[in-house]
Amino acid sequence: MLGRKEIDNLNLRKQALVLESSLNRRAFQAEFQNLRSATAWVSEVAQVSRGLPPLLPILAPLAGFLLARSSRQSDSWLGRVVAAAKWIGPLYSLWKGFFPGREHQAEAGGRAT
């Protein structure tokens, strides 16, 4: 039979495991939420990229030129990524200018099927 001291130690260990489990559950929920957000972002990027094939011959050399130009200024990969990211917004606005009604056409086509 276990003594009082051993029972108290086991109870303390049980409480520690319950708290650790609770912390792990919270961390898992946070990571799952981040994954869900990333999945939504990827699907949004994929949806945008479906409309890019007509503009790809124009945007690809432009993006390469801008990346090469900015890479001379910075030697780190992080600097290159940041430089490329600065151009994503203006290029996306330019793309939306070329195809302003494309989203409405896709929605109407999706409802008809």
pLDDT 10s digits, 11-68: 999 999 999 999 999 999 999 888 888 788 777 777 776 766 666 677 778 777 777 7
pLDDT at 23: 94
3-state SS assignment for residue 1: coil
pLDDT at 52: 63
Using a 10 angstrom Cβ sphere, with 0-12 exposed, 13-18 middle and 19 or more buried, the burial of residue 31 is exposed
Comparison of pLDDT for 77 and 27, the residue scoring more: 27
- What are the residues whose beta carbons fall under 8 Å from the beta carbon of 79, sequence distance 6 or more? 70, 71, 73
Domain boundaries, given as residue ranges, for the chain: 1-50, 53-113
Is 113 a residue whose pLDDT tops 50?
no
What is d(CA 99, CA 108) in angstroms, rounded to the nearest whole number? 15
